[in-house]
Structure 1
Amino acid sequence: MTKAIQKITLSSSRDIPFNKLVLSQSNVRRVKAGVSIEQLAESIAQRTLLQSLSVRAVVDADGNETGMFEVPAGGRRYRALELLVKQKRMSKTQAVPCVVRERGIAEDDSVAENDERVGLHPLDQFRAFQTLRDLGLSEEDIAARHFVNPAIVKQRLRLASVSPKLHELYAEDGMTLEQLMAFSVTADHARQEQVWENVSRSGYDEPYQIRRTLTENTLRGSDRRAQFVGLDAYQRAGGGVLRDLFEHDDGGWLQDVVLLDRLVTEKLKAEAEAIAAEGWKWISVAVDFPYGHVDGLREIEGKPVDLSPEEQATIDALNAEQAKLETEYQDADELPDEIDQRLGEIEAALAAFEDRPMLYDPTEIVRAGVFISIDSEGRLAVDRGYVRPEDEVQASDPDVGQDADVSSSEGQEEGPSVQRTVVAVAGSAPDAEDDDEDAAKPLPDRLITELTAHRTLALRDALAENPAVAFQAVLHNFVLTAFYRFASSGSCLEIGLRTPNFPAQAPGLRESVSAKAVEARHEAWKARLPKSENDLWDALTALDGGAQASLFAHCASFAVNAVYEPANRYNQARVSAHGVRTRLDQADVLARAVGLDMVQAGWRPTVDNYLGRVTKPRILEAVREAKGESSAQLIDHLKKADMAKEAERLLDGSGWLPEPLRLADPDTAPVEQEGEAGSLPEFLADEEDQETVGDEDPQQLDAAE
């Protein structure tokens, strides 16, 4: 026989006047913790009582109820109500909702109410604050209603902006609160999820590692460039800032480094223009100069500007005040904050007088120059009065000094001649990778091979789409083979359908538009052709002329080889310079015939396939050709890696192509003389061109700057 389940009975609830309640000695809470009684009273005043009191009837010695009730569970709420009564904000007869307990132990009720209560999960608190904000409450209002600092509310709201996917991970204990806080540096959900996927897989998932990854392409607000421009000016110009509300972030992270560099350049150039009015011969501007940049230069002597009587009196007063304060607190273990601040102000004021402008001889100014940079604190650093060896007055020429003076006066009438260097925002010290700064340096052989591999694949695709040209190309190859001995060795169509391999696997070649088109076409024909070769003849016979022509063009396209190969000692036995040159020339003929356009074929310059593989002048040349000089100047101060990334962004959609991928103009191509190999194109030029450049007058090159 099944035993009936006994149903539980809940304690009854009723409203009891407050003056009939007393705090029970059975209440186990003795130590103050959490929200204060005053704050709880304010909360009750705003929201009324949200949770009933647990009470028991007070009985006399005979066990009879006295009409009073004690509160074993809910003592803090009772004290808060008591405070409201004392403040005359609540009547002492106000009915209070209570749950009346009859059975059990009062102390057990008190312990259970506190132990079994679960605090709000941080994620629930984040979302609740966000809901209150959406309802129109300000951060200050939310803080006041929940008795927390407004900064805490800002932090919670920032956490609520983290990706919902990461919220769910945190709710399921998939990440820690500290990790979630680290992700709040940015509001980009896609970026947050991408970084979490990477760090969780790699194991480098400490909060500081997450922050570092999220801000890897930004610049610290404490950087000298940011300090020099100022955060307000940067944000007014439209720059974004990432802030960490949970840790000291040194002013945050500036997201638009290119914008900051432009602002730095503009401000430095403006300062240089002002200093140029002093008549200096040259001004060199950089964010920073390498150690020893003044070696070999003569520093001219200047005389400090004389102090006025008022300025001297100020200096004397500051010195006296400084001596008095130092004497007064010489035995103190630690200076009071206000005294320490005042001594700092005095030192700064005295330093300003020490750094007052210098006066220089006008005859020296006209041959000397100035270095302008930014110091480690983000302040403008101006170092005047350095003479280059080539600007020194020659002692053997008695008339040079007089001529220099005349030239100086004439220059001052027309305005000072100022030579500015390019602002090296990332530091003026040249990188080791930029030793080959000559823009005329040939492109690397491997890079040309990779670029022409892209072109070969695109040319195959284009030829397959043009059966008439494909027929003529094969016919041309047949005639060369039949009537011109050895001529076919230089052809770009390696008939016999021997598909040449690419000696260098270019980045992105397999995923290129041309590769996908060739593969799709091949699979389509494969599905139409019989599986057995014995049935192939009949299948081809059944095709009409157009289908046969299309299949012929597709097959012929696999023989295209427009890849550049260096005729060096490793390839000399297999390929000659003349053969490669002839191959590329015929590839140009074929490309013009099919109307090949590498831009339409899907190629675009990236860091991987071009920009990261060439010198800085080559990068600037590309941007200059595609976007103009002004765009090139925006990135000319960057290090090579950063310049390549920014150039990729600038060139996107521009249609710019490097020379190996351009369609050669037959009208401008030089006529090859019989028996001679002909001249190489510019991108294959050897050291002969470099020697020509090296013979140019260096002074003229400097003047071009």
Structure 2
Amino acid sequence: MKLSKAEFEALIEASQRTFVSFCQLVLSVDYQARSSGSGPRLSIPELAASIKECGVLQNLIVVQAARHTYEVCAGGRRLEALTALVAAGELPENFPVPVLIVAVDRGLLVSLAENAFHLPMHPADEFEAFAKLVARGKPVEDVAAAFGVTPMVVKRRMKLAAVSPRLMAQFREGSINLECLMVLASVEDHERQEQAWAGLDSWNRHSDHLRRILTQGEVDSDRSPVARYVTVKAYEKAGGPTRRDLLSDSDRKVYLLDAALLDQLAVGKLQGTANKIAAEGWKWVDVRPRYVHDEYVRHGELRKSSREPSEQEAAALHALNVQLEENKQRLNALYAQDGSDEETEAECARLEALREELSGQVAALEEVLAIWPPELMAEAGCIVYVGNDAKPAVRYGLIRPDDRSNVLQANRGGVFGGAASRSGLAAVPEPKTRPVHSEKLVRNLTAHRVAAIQAELLDRSDVALAVLTAQMAKSLLLDDYRQAYGCEDPLKLTVTDTHHSLRADALDIEASKAWQILNAKRSYWQSILPPQAADMLPWVLTQEPDSVRQLFTFLVAITVTGVYATEPAQQRTDGLAQALRLDMTHWWQASGPSYFQHVSKARATEVVSEATGAPAGTAMQALKKEAAVARAAQAVAGTGWLPTVLRLRPPADVPDADVALGPDDDPPLDVGESDGDTETAGN
């Protein structure tokens, strides 16, 4: 028989309400709908604390049994909490418990209905109730005691209750899960909470990603070596603001909000170490909160020399080497034996351990003999910084670009008493001249070159097929050595479209003719291709061969790559450019925005002289930069001048070919090996 909610409420209304002693209550076996132990066990201590503080707020439903006892049909968890309180002596055995007595034949039915119709409290209601209790003056400790939880639990629930009302409403609706709500609650600013949540993509609403957004610009005291070195205590003593995350697994979790102050304190604390290093005789000592490789990428680096050992050191080193040789011979003899037993294996293990010990002693002695040449130290320096272990670290022997010549001269001069042959320079390149073009400009120019090659390739399916075949043959048929020391690949055979990367490297490329042609082709193919991936092959199989050829050519074209950060001696697209007879004057012209605004006046003067054949000289140099840019652009207009990186290079070491790849007068495609000595950076 099914009992409706209305019938259930009528039955309850008609039943007798009274109080019975705790000692008269027993848990029913026949009338309990919920299995014993199926309730949430961790909530019993909390329920017991609540009953102790507030009494039994909801009556138990019972049926009358023999010998003045009552079987509990509904309210088993309350009975269990009461049992715990009586056992602990918190309540007497005759404690009056409110009950509702129902007929025996309705006991199981009422138990089932009571559990079915009961709606648990939403977590948000619990958070807000805790916050209201504290707001009304009840101490956190008292609230914690009343519900059998720790004060930290109460503080965390209050923190959750303080989340933006808009976000709390979404939590109630199920749009935000509890993990994300806890991350949002870690910051107090409602606007910041709402902006962080609104900025998440619907597919990426994960607590870890949300935490990274909310803590951006803050320093995690647990993870940052600099924070661990400075210590939170010292940072706060200096007035540094912090944010503590009560909802983290660690109660001591702290985020430091002033990264600049933290770095300043780290540098100050490192100064003592830096002073000791400077006293050793180095030319300079930089103090940094952390070592950043990019700041010192152009620095050279010394390596230590070996001084002559004293008689005692030489004797010790000789004795160690003799022992190592004896150890080696003994091990080899044991390894050469046909069989082995436990005794032999034990002896091998002992000798191997001894070898490790002797090698360590040799390394320690060699470290004592290794020193920095004083004459070279006078031209080099060190960086003192916080290492990953949160302790002071030192990077020794760096050479500033301006000091390279002095270091090279000192090293060639045989400094350090004839030991110069053993005092090496780990990496001290000759001083470099300033490049003609900046990295940004080289990327821009080579991006335009790539786009032009792509546009030219659209009408040359023969070249598209040839370059794809050549690159696949190189990758699949040549051995690794010839691949490694051959030319770079012009295509991205991982089927990567270079559309977006070209736009990132050349912000003005969208106005170019090549880009507009490529975009028009892209739009055309996107308009006629089937929208579903599964339909692509059947569609291609039904097309005319000429249409498939055109699509294939376009797809090969948009994979062409070759953007560089510095001007290379050879470009990966040189072979393609030769095959296409690329003339960049059809695709790019030198103007103020495209070139002259990005180079010096001296360079602009050189370009004008080169393009016009007449010296620009003093007249150009006397102009201000804006006027010089306009004058240079006007002078070069119509001359067809191109920077070297855009010019068609003559084929190098291309063998005579009997078969042309295009029309009869087309040159063969250059797929030969290069010197492999170019400095490049792909896009």
Q: TM-score, normalised by structure 2?
A: 0.44
Q: TM-score, normalised by structure 1?
A: 0.43
